[in-house]
Amino acid sequence: MNLNQVKSLFTATDFERGMEYYRKGRVTDMQCTKAGPETNVSCTVRGSERYTVRFTEMAEGRLRISCTCPRYADVGRCKHLAAAMIAYIGEPPHESVPGSDSCARWMLQRYLQITQESIEPSQQPTRLTAVLRTEYSCYYPSFSLRVGFDRLYSVQNIREFLDNVSQRRTVVYGKGLTLEHNLELFEPKAQAMIRLLMNEYGRYRALGSSSYYMGYEPLDYRKNEITLTGDSFDRWFDLLSDAPVDCAGSGPLTLTQADPQVRLQIAEEGGGAWLTVQTPCPYRFFGSYRSLYALGGGKLLRCSGEFREKIYPLLEAKQQTMYLARKDLPTFCGCVLPALNGQVEIEDPQNLLQNYIPDSCTVCFYFDMEQDTLLVKPVFRYDTHLIAFDDSSEPDGVRRNKKEECRAAVRPALFSAAGSAVHFTGRGCGL
């Protein structure tokens, strides 16, 4: 590829603007990798925003090109792509001595970035704080960043901020802050937060141009915010739990390991009972299979595993009141109350729960032969009452113990005899 070939690919305006961008040093982070006869090139071109340009020089002069700017999406060409290609081949020298090739120039540029003279570091380490945002999130909350020293400035683009740190760029945030984005100049906690955020982007998880294709990256719906989920949010919580965290639209949040207080009121009415579930304040629950969080009352709580497994199902429906039919009260008393196990304050002024403790259940098996097949039929015995496993009725005076019935986990089992061997089929055959 030479300059004339590049010029033929673009309009005169795009080529001239591309040359202007190149000469002003707006092409940065160029990476070149060879894969057989192909050369893959990626870089960043700074226009009104930072755009990522990629192109591949293939055999027979063919090209595969892309740019993230809107104009490329419309017409398939742009000044950013022109600037990148000009930077790749370099301007033609005025003398006849051949210049360095593109890979050598890229290598020199990388070392120049490393040895670039830094501004005199401040004696005060750079601060980086997170601001939790909960006003429009229905799942994990998002958060924005502020950076600076005594006065903190909002980070308008988190992805660009991380790029600045990775390239150690010096950026002006306002009249009062010119900041060198050198990771070592940040506070230790800020350094850990930056590494955590970088791990969310494929470009920082792998070296080389292939890093741009390394899986999921957070979507930039709001460039000044990011949402961490799962293990990433767990690590963020561990990192910041020793001090209050700012929350947009409210006061600071306290991050702590604790379970919300829960109160359960029970009142009989008609043919059943009303359950009223109360907490000291409205909580918003979110989390993963490993961790459950409760946000409310100026606190962000990480709940215990026991609360997540045994208490949260009572709150998961997000209904403060629930109605239980009379026939379901024994199941509630037999399954739900033991799980609560003193962790929930229960108000039962009518002593309703004591009256619906389920009866004792004995599992029996009845056998019958049909030709060469042995049929096993499980039956639940409640005193003088026998109830088949597939019978959902409630005989008068019987409070069925669904917990014991489920624990038995029985189903009809068929045993087929063939010679001296016995073959088992169906579930519940381990008698």
pLDDT score at 299: 93
CA-CA distance, 261 to 343, in Å (whole number)?
Answer: 8
Check: CB of residue 151 under 8 Å from CB of residue 176.
yes
pLDDT score at 189: 94
Tokens of 286: 């979110």
Q: Whole-model pTM?
A: 0.63
Tokens of 192: 């850990």
Q: For residue 342, what is the DSSP state?
A: T
Mean pLDDT in each 10-residue stretch from start to end of the chain (431 residues)?
Answer: 85 91 85 81 87 86 87 90 87 50 70 54 80 77 92 92 87 83 92 93 65 50 86 94 87 93 90 90 91 93 93 87 87 82 86 80 81 80 82 78 69 41 40 43
pLDDT score at 308: 93
pLDDT score at 416: 40
Check: CB of residue 427 under 8 Å from CB of residue 413.
yes
Residues 238-282 pLDDT 10s: 999 888 999 988 889 999 999 999 999 998 888 888 999 999 999
pLDDT score at 78: 93
What is the secondary structure of 75-136 as a DSSP string? HS--HHHHHHHHHHH-PPPSSSS----HHHHHHHHHHHHHHPPPPPPPSSPBEEEEEEE-SS
Check: CB of residue 327 under 8 Å from CB of residue 401.
no
Q: Which residues is 278 bridged to in the sheet?
A: 263
